[in-house]
A and B are shown apart, each in its own frame.
Chain A
């Protein structure tokens, strides 16, 4: 009987551990970090062609995805945000538009991200660390590219 309090204490602590761990995991699932790089792509003379050093990690992707038409890429702005579940965050873009991103929760191993731009709404399912581009809006002789990196 004297050992009973110790057993109860250990069981209680184990229960608390599991509960807190589950809570922490649920909390981690309730948000996703998102980084958006706003890029201005233009077509310039060969000797002026360059890629902003800030874009170096994705330079190859830019070159290969957009290089047929554009040879200069400059990062105009970047945004980092933690998207809480169902809470939309908006960021202003250099062309006056507004980008809205909402985390819609998990679907298996994926994160659902709802992206809103004027006249366009889309839901993207992406794994942690996934990267995709949104492009097409003309801006100052070129286009704007949004590089959206989730996780």
Chain B
């Protein structure tokens, strides 16, 4: 018999559950193998502890006819509804209130402050450098207009101006951008002031997915534009 085979039988041997033939083989191996003999000692010690802790009280209860009492307790426990979360919390709080009373406010405050500090730091960018340097650093790694923003809002009616007409507040449609492209959100020209040239706010209602173009022209033709041509 090898150690591995004996190991599988050790528990049964310690409990005296092996047949005589198997038991003799185990004993022969144990006589020549100090390691397995030590394992048997440990197994017996464990079995003894278990017996002392569990089996003997049960046997005593059985001998004393106390099973009825035990079973009655089990039945009553099964029949009673489990305590609610609130009841358990109240019980927990009441049980250790005096011990916790000193630390609970501090722990609660600390937990909330940690959460608050995390939120604040994340939202305000307190750990990041400020100003344009930050924006530049962030965006130089990104392709321009990389993040498409798609709007599910319905397309509204667009109006068009041409020539010198510019309507302050000219609405342009709220649009859904093609997949993978920048969506053109609603843009309004609130007001304008032109000292020279012509301003045309161009939007083609037949192309509702196109951005507004604010043209600033001289002599009405951008090809010939420029201050020098005035």
Is A98's CB within 8 Å of the partner chain B? no
Is A130's CB within 8 Å of the partner chain B? yes
Q: Once the chains bind, are A122 and B145 in contact (CB under 8 Å)?
A: no
Q: Once the chains bind, are B144 and A81 in contact (CB under 8 Å)?
A: no
Q: Once the chains bind, are B181 and A61 in contact (CB under 8 Å)?
A: yes
Residue on B nearest A133 in the bound complex, by CB: B213
Tell me whether A134 and B216 are in contact in the complex, defined as CB-CB below 8 angstroms, given that A57-B182, A123-B190 are known contacts: yes
Q: Once the chains bind, are B216 and A137 in contact (CB under 8 Å)?
A: yes
Residue on A nearest B149 in the bound complex, by CB: A129
The contact of B225 among A82, A121, A138, by CB within 8 Å, is A138
What is the count of residue pairs linking A and B with beta-carbon distances less than 8 angstroms? 211
Q: Once the chains bind, are A82 and B115 in contact (CB under 8 Å)?
A: no
Residues of B within 8 A of A66 (CB): 213
Tell me whether A131 and B182 are in contact in the complex, defined as CB-CB below 8 angstroms, given that A81-B135, A124-B189 are known contacts: yes
Contact-residue bracket for chain A: 35 or more
Contact-residue bracket for chain B: 35 or more
Tell me whether A17 and B116 are in contact in the complex, defined as CB-CB below 8 angstroms, given that A82-B135, A125-B188, A135-B214 are known contacts: yes
The contact of B210 among A6, A57, A64, A112, by CB within 8 Å, is A64
Residue on B nearest A114 in the bound complex, by CB: B190
Q: Once the chains bind, are A80 and B138 in contact (CB under 8 Å)?
A: yes
- Inter-chain CA distance A80–B139, complex, in Å, is 7
Is A10's CB within 8 Å of the partner chain B? yes
Is A127's CB within 8 Å of the partner chain B? yes
Write the residues of chain B forming the contact surface with A, with a CB cutoff of 8 angstroms.
Answer: 97-98, 101, 104-106, 108-109, 112-113, 115-116, 119-120, 123-124, 131-132, 134-136, 138-140, 143-149, 174, 178, 180-197, 199, 202, 207, 210-218, 222-227
